[in-house]
Structure 1
Amino acid sequence: MEETINLKELFQALKKRLWIIVLITTVAATISSVISFFVLTPMYQSQAQILVNQAKSDQQLYNSGEVQTNIQLINTYNVIITSPTILNQVINDLNLNMTVDELTEQIEVTSAKDSQVVEVTVQNESPRMAVEIANTTAKVFKNQISEIMNIDNVNILSPAVMKEDMSPVSPRIKLNIAVGIAIGLIISSIIAIVLHYLDNTLKTEQDIEQILELPVIGVITNIKDVPKATVRQTEPIGRAQRTRGETFGS
């Protein structure tokens, strides 16, 4: 006999084990909330912008080829910014208690396509330290790049600024809780459906008709289902009949 799966049966399976779904989803949401509030460290973000401009010239105010060359050099600048040469100087200037690798993990260098602007983004558990690292990295890079590549076409376009209302960029608590709820719903639904199809017992006459495809002729009522009031009423009648029988016999 082929077994077919239909939406109505799946819905009934989920409805029958709704308590499992609610329980697992609640546990998943609680775990994600606890991790977001008490385990993950809040991280603050700050950003400084560096402009790679064309070299000044008295004979030529604008040279498109020179601008294109500066754009092509940005990828090289991105690597240099996070190099030990720059970051070691940043660590010394700020007296940071971390290695170059640890500082590199906090810094992200990006640039828009066909743009001469390089963005130095720093994430740190301290908002003030994030601002200081971003500005110091941009400053050290500006000062060192002339010695490294023998050029002088880098300026700090926009330094990082310390704001009074800086909010952490991570963890994203609402998103984490939503993800926890979604994962809980998926896992609990799968468990409910699996339990439904692993349960091959027949519990009702409807199960017999649907699974065995046999008609139900009759149903034997469980003695536990008989109301107690009915039992109490029958007991006095029996005692009265026995009393009358004893009287006639005597």
Structure 2
Amino acid sequence: MEETISLQELFGVIKKRLIMIISITVLATVIAGVISYLFLTPIYQSSTQLLVNQKETKDSSIYQNNQVQTNVQLINTYNVIIKSQAILDEVIKQLNLDYSVAELTNKITVASETNSQVFTVSVQDKDPEQAQAITNTIANVFQEQIKKIMSVNNVTVLAKAELGDNPSPIKPNKKLNVAIGFAVGLMLSVGIAFLLEFLDNTVKTEKQLEELLELPILGVISEVSQGNVEPKLKKFKLRKGA
């Protein structure tokens, strides 16, 4: 026999397990909040902007008539060079960092807009002051080293990394994590509620008994306990056939 469940029955299951649903949801939200606020290390980001000039030099034929396209290609090359060992080794040396080149590379992000001569170098670190120092040092070292690497002098630091009075971490996003914990807890608790209802094979209503045995209910006999006029237990009387 094909079983169907109505919207009223769905809400009935939720209402029946409401305390469990609320408890699991609150627990998941609290756990997400505790982990986000107490255990996850805040990560700060510092950024600087570098400008690639359009000026052509006598010692280089890298610029062509189509300057916009040339600059875009040049910036793509600079994006690779700025994260190379030639640049980062010098940065580590100047700042006396306890990072390898690979570890420092993972902290650096280089981004540029389409058809733009400006690209942005961002560094993430758990120490906001160190993030700022690394960012500015990378810009200065790159500006000096690119003259030797590509024999051009066309990079200008457009905006240095600045450290505000009260820097805010970019991650973790504590409010978002709490919201995710709430959503996960709610979905998990509702899923458990319906799973428990599905696994519960006890008969509690006349309708369930009628559907289970495929027999019509002729009447209901109420058992009344002594001193109580309210029915205590329902007994069902069934008859085979119509």
Query: Normalising to structure 2: TM-score of the pair?
Result: 0.85
Give the equivalent residue in structure 1 for 2:41.
Answer: 41
Superposition RMSD in Å? 2.2
- Classify the secondary structure of the residue corresponding to 1:170: coil
- Classify the secondary structure of the residue corresponding to 1:208: helix
Give the equivalent residue in structure 2 for 1:241.
Answer: none
- Please identify, of 191-200 and 210-219, the stretch whose mean Cα deviation from structure 2 is larger: 210-219
| CA–CA separation in structure 1 for the residues paired with 2:182 and 2:169 | 23
Q: Give how far 1:32 is off.
A: 0.6
Whichever residue aligns with residue 53 of structure 1, its letter is N
| CA–CA separation in structure 1 for the residues paired with 2:93 and 2:224 | 84
Cα distance change of structure 1 residues 227 and 43 upon mapping to structure 2, 3 Å threshold: farther
Pairing 1:22–2:22 present: yes
- Please identify, of 11-20 and 198-207, the stretch whose mean Cα deviation from structure 2 is larger: 198-207
Unaligned runs of 5+ in 2: 230-242
Unaligned runs of 5+ in 1: 230-250
- Classify the secondary structure of the residue corresponding to 2:157: strand
| CA–CA separation in structure 1 for the residues paired with 2:125 and 2:218 | 71
Higher-strand-fraction structure: 2
> Residues 47 and 120 of structure 2 are in contact (CA less than 8 Å); yes or no, is this contact kept in structure 1?
yes
Query: Normalising to structure 1: TM-score of the pair?
Result: 0.82
| CA–CA separation in structure 2 for the residues paired with 1:221 and 1:14 | 30
- Classify the secondary structure of the residue corresponding to 2:164: coil
| CA–CA separation in structure 1 for the residues paired with 2:50 and 2:194 | 56
Counterpart mapping for 1:182-201 below 5 A: 182-201=183-202
Give the equivalent residue in structure 1 for 2:234.
Answer: none
- Classify the secondary structure of the residue corresponding to 1:24: helix
- Classify the secondary structure of the residue corresponding to 1:50: strand
- Classify the secondary structure of the residue corresponding to 1:20: helix
Q: Give how far 1:64 is off.
A: 5.9
| CA–CA separation in structure 1 for the residues paired with 2:158 and 2:102 | 27
Give the equivalent residue in structure 2 for 1:154.
Answer: 155
> Residues 64 and 70 of structure 2 are in contact (CA less than 8 Å); yes or no, is this contact kept in structure 1?
no
Give the equivalent residue in structure 2 for 1:8.
Answer: 8
| CA–CA separation in structure 2 for the residues paired with 1:44 and 1:102 | 16
Give the equivalent residue in structure 2 for 1:134.
Answer: 135
Counterpart mapping for 1:34-113 below 5 A: 34-56=34-56, 65-113=66-114
- Aligned residue pairs: how many? 224
Identity of aligned residues (%): 49
Cα distance change of structure 1 residues 215 and 117 upon mapping to structure 2, 3 Å threshold: same
Give the equivalent residue in structure 2 for 1:235.
Answer: none
Q: Give how far 1:19 is off.
A: 1.6
Q: Give how far 1:196 is off.
A: 1.0
State which of 198, 218, 221 in structure 2 corresponds to 1:219. Answer: 221
Q: Which has the larger radius of gyration?
A: 1
Higher-helix-fraction structure: 1
Give the equivalent residue in structure 2 for 1:32.
Answer: 32
